[in-house]
Structure 1
């Protein structure tokens, strides 16, 4: 009897306890919490937008009650996904222009532009998504056929990477671009001494300056369209790599009124006006908006041969690409930003650009701790510079770039340089963390393609057999961390998101299948069934 008495007393106390009422309970789930132990759980409780308990279904139901209970029926749940490098606003804007993604020839592009203009007549035709590397003849197009189709209407078609622009003569005339025009940090492409209509990097700004601005209604629609697409894919935070003040303030306004739910880590575009305004102020932080970083462009893109290389391109002798921002300007920016609380996030593709950025970071951050500056893309690294990532610099990389570029990267940069390209495992081993993103709309929004590319390093047709440079593949656990807790860490937000733990924002995603266990080739087929931000279902 003396052994049974404590048992009955404990049962009496337990039965007499009043359960705590909360906003939402999730039970019977296969939850990867992505905590320090990468532990799993069955259930969790949410109140006031945050996780208040994590455990088994019995534990949670024994202590909490709620009018809203989600029975996950054994399906997989992870922390809400974070895209560590994308162009959120750009994705929304792209919904209002000609979609050229996936086109396989210049002729197909012309047909799409004609069809778009017939259905949606514009005074200035815009499009995005062409990639000459997907064509039978892998050369830049020329404007002649565009001129014939649209002699009086300006046309500007952005390459998939955003680093080259095809325009017609009308647009060139309006922008004041002539054969003798010179612009540093890029190229006005000519053929046989004539303008082709292709502009690479900085000269593109002359055309952008004459494009009519979007009105406020169109801007709001762009942000809402982008949010809808992202929530459908389980994204709860997006790092927009380059926004102006007016767009940041519009995002903040829409978030405050409840018209925009998604959380945004906004990198401020490094224009003189933006720098003067933000760097003279403290970082801006709300529950949904974080403005504490500056986006700088080091060089261009590999696909348009704008990436700055230490030696000439293997498929274009004498051509080195170009620094979009001069070396001395990058160094001055690093010094200026290091004197503030802001983070510096610099686009660097070519091995020369990465050298410039890493050296500038090392010098500017000497004696400073925990600054978490990022190299965005960190795409081609010379062997002797990998160690620079040991010193607190975070590589922010996009796995689908590897599987998009692998068909032609070797021809472009040569076998030896390719060994240090898309080297995500090597970067992780040096830095201890990698932040994973997509760079959408350069690549597709789907985080499942990111996951698949990081782990399998193949395309959707299972090419190449055995995977592309598999020495730099990531494990599934590393990949999930890169899309959640490591991405949050790179944003100084690891204490509030990135894992399912008590006290953190209740952002989570529920899937149709278990991305951690299904055959890797099935990961791209997974669908997001539910997305939650602050405990509220948004998809």
Structure 2
């Protein structure tokens, strides 16, 4: 009987060896799997069935227990949960791909030349529309006006949007279409000009005066543009996005495209917050499918720092203005109060320290202690020192975009001065207060490649490696936290952490294989790391080897 334990062990091994293997759809093995679970554990392999992870473990464990229709040898490469962009603008990105790309233009003269080249290639366009100019890049940092546009384009409407989508310049033909012949009083916006004559510059709410006259693409055209954008997103490992503020018309288009199976990435779509939409969508209730969720509102508190529309507590360091709110505090309170009485999530764009304070305080008024509402501040860009603890006190999620710091660092101090810069782009401070950060890109304001955001978050330098020691390097975050911010924490910010955001049994089998391990790759190489394969619900939706 002394040999009984040995006999029992051998019998068990024989039984296991003879046990039939479970059938699964996919096995991935020979990998460095970063699960991003609660312990940040790693593994070698996993099995997928019916679009879900069902087991994670060693190569031996997974291949001994499961038999798959498809197997992927990862060749030792690093695998991560599918990347999640926590703040993006899908339709704007799709439209920009069909418009004049003005990003990186070093003068307004270069802007005009790009528009001319575009017109030559697209002679049938009835409007010339572009986006991406930034006067802060130019030797003359003045805002552009219509004069040069009128000389170059006297007979066709031209409308060019600033990189932040909070300002635009239009020529006289476009103003004529909009019947904008004088300078109206616009709450939350500015029509530039003098002597009651518009000069073509439009900031924030004033942009709507021309926007509403621009022809809208057809349903078929939008689908073409969105599918092209989808290809780009999948090619960099994005499997989920937060679509930050959509009209009813665009939400209806998304519903149709997803119902028809035309789109594959997952979209957490925020409803553009205004009194009419809030009332209407609350009455309708949540819309939720496997790929599309509509259960939150996005409000806009102020404009952007680069166009001096961000609402500051004190005047700009380089101009005698405080910026402005896009609506009155009373209007924000009424909208937030209505959302608080529903199950919907509230998310608010706030850039300036005044806008952030106003929204944080209104949030705090309606957030009950110990409730799990997960209301968000989008951008949280400039925070007064006395307001940081409100993110912890009221349990408000900071949703930030690391590349904004490295794009704005050249001129942000001009806008804010030395003292206010201490509370600007303070991602580590925000992380310390709340305990999580939702990371996004704000595309097309910034590039959609998540490697750019990861690099900016951990190194605080731009694509050229500037500055040497990093921009306000004290607010860099660790690589592990940056990865959490673009996976599990982004999912958490959308109430999805139980179904995606990490590689764990029972969750959606969304993952990405990269050519290099971003937790170990030197900073200067991070932006160039390529996606090898992107998988959503166990289906390969991008494979670089097949391109």
CA deviation digits over 1:30-89, x for unaligned, max 9? 010000000001000000000000000100001001120000011000000000001012
Partner SS state of residue 303, structure 1:
coil
Aligned residues: 538
Q: Is residue 183–residue 193 contact of structure 2 (8 Å, CA) maintained in 1? A: no
Q: For 1:534, which of 529, 532, 537 is the aligned residue?
A: 537
Tell which deviates more after alignment, 381-390 or 135-144: 135-144
Structure 2: 5+ residue stretches without partners: 543-547
Residue of structure 1 in register with 2:322 after alignment:
320
Residue of structure 2 in register with 1:30 after alignment:
32
CA deviation digits over 1:180-209, x for unaligned, max 9? 321110111226875321100001001011
1:267 aligns with 2:273: no
Residue of structure 2 in register with 1:443 after alignment:
446
Give 1:493 deviation, angstroms: 0.3
Q: Is residue 35–residue 502 contact of structure 2 (8 Å, CA) maintained in 1? A: yes
Q: For 2:51, which of 46, 49, 52 is the aligned residue?
A: 49
Residue of structure 2 in register with 1:157 after alignment:
160
Q: For 1:392, which of 386, 392, 395 is the aligned residue?
A: 395
Tell which deviates more after alignment, 460-469 or 191-200: 191-200
Residue of structure 2 in register with 1:180 after alignment:
183
The whole-number CA distance in structure 1 between the counterparts of 2:16 and 2:479 is 40
Tell which deviates more after alignment, 395-404 or 127-136: 127-136
Q: For 1:486, which of 466, 481, 489 is the aligned residue?
A: 489
Residue of structure 1 in register with 2:306 after alignment:
303
The whole-number CA distance in structure 2 between the counterparts of 1:169 and 1:259 is 39
Residue of structure 2 in register with 1:99 after alignment:
101
Residue of structure 2 in register with 1:361 after alignment:
363
Give 1:281 deviation, angstroms: 2.2
Residue of structure 1 in register with 2:79 after alignment:
77
How high is the TM-score relative to the length of structure 2?
A: 0.96
Residue of structure 2 in register with 1:128 after alignment:
131
CA deviation digits over 1:449-484, x for unaligned, max 9? 100000000112221111111111100000000000
The whole-number CA distance in structure 1 between the counterparts of 2:368 and 2:505 is 36
Give 1:257 deviation, angstroms: 2.4
The whole-number CA distance in structure 1 between the counterparts of 2:184 and 2:249 is 31
The correspondence of residues 183-202 of structure 1 with structure 2, limited to 5 A, is: 183-190=186-193, 194-202=197-205
Residue of structure 1 in register with 2:499 after alignment:
496
The whole-number CA distance in structure 2 between the counterparts of 1:468 and 1:372 is 30
The whole-number CA distance in structure 1 between the counterparts of 2:236 and 2:90 is 13
Residue of structure 2 in register with 1:434 after alignment:
437
Q: For 1:256, which of 248, 254, 259 is the aligned residue?
A: 259
Q: Is residue 356–residue 383 contact of structure 2 (8 Å, CA) maintained in 1? A: yes
The correspondence of residues 187-226 of structure 1 with structure 2, limited to 5 A, is: 187-190=190-193, 194-226=197-229
The whole-number CA distance in structure 2 between the counterparts of 1:235 and 1:196 is 41
Residue of structure 2 in register with 1:421 after alignment:
424
The whole-number CA distance in structure 2 between the counterparts of 1:41 and 1:116 is 50
Partner SS state of residue 207, structure 1:
helix
C-alpha spacing 1:191/1:455, structure 2 compared with 1 (3 Å)? farther
Give 1:366 deviation, angstroms: 3.2
- RMSD over aligned Cα atoms: 1.2
Residue of structure 1 in register with 2:477 after alignment:
474
The correspondence of residues 457-468 of structure 1 with structure 2, limited to 5 A, is: 457-468=460-471
Residue of structure 1 in register with 2:347 after alignment:
345
1:241 aligns with 2:259: no
Q: For 2:407, which of 404, 408, 413 is the aligned residue?
A: 404
The whole-number CA distance in structure 2 between the counterparts of 1:263 and 1:67 is 25
Q: Is residue 183–residue 196 contact of structure 2 (8 Å, CA) maintained in 1? A: no
CA deviation digits over 1:362-402, x for unaligned, max 9? 01213571000000000000000001101210000000000
Tell which deviates more after alignment, 103-112 or 417-426: 103-112
Q: Is residue 274–residue 335 contact of structure 2 (8 Å, CA) maintained in 1? A: no
1:6 aligns with 2:8: yes
The whole-number CA distance in structure 2 between the counterparts of 1:361 and 1:64 is 49
Give 1:275 deviation, angstroms: 2.2
Partner SS state of residue 220, structure 2:
helix
The whole-number CA distance in structure 1 between the counterparts of 2:457 and 2:120 is 41
Tell which deviates more after alignment, 301-310 or 252-261: 252-261
Structure 1: 5+ residue stretches without partners: none
The whole-number CA distance in structure 2 between the counterparts of 1:257 and 1:17 is 42
The correspondence of residues 270-281 of structure 1 with structure 2, limited to 5 A, is: 270-281=273-284
1:230 aligns with 2:233: yes
Residue of structure 1 in register with 2:545 after alignment:
none
The correspondence of residues 519-530 of structure 1 with structure 2, limited to 5 A, is: 519-530=522-533
The whole-number CA distance in structure 2 between the counterparts of 1:237 and 1:454 is 19
The whole-number CA distance in structure 2 between the counterparts of 1:504 and 1:67 is 20
Q: For 2:513, which of 496, 510, 515 is the aligned residue?
A: 510
The whole-number CA distance in structure 1 between the counterparts of 2:427 and 2:288 is 30
Give 1:14 deviation, angstroms: 1.1
How high is the TM-score relative to the length of structure 1?
A: 0.98
The whole-number CA distance in structure 2 between the counterparts of 1:535 and 1:180 is 55
Q: Is residue 180–residue 198 contact of structure 2 (8 Å, CA) maintained in 1? A: no
Residue of structure 2 in register with 1:331 after alignment:
333
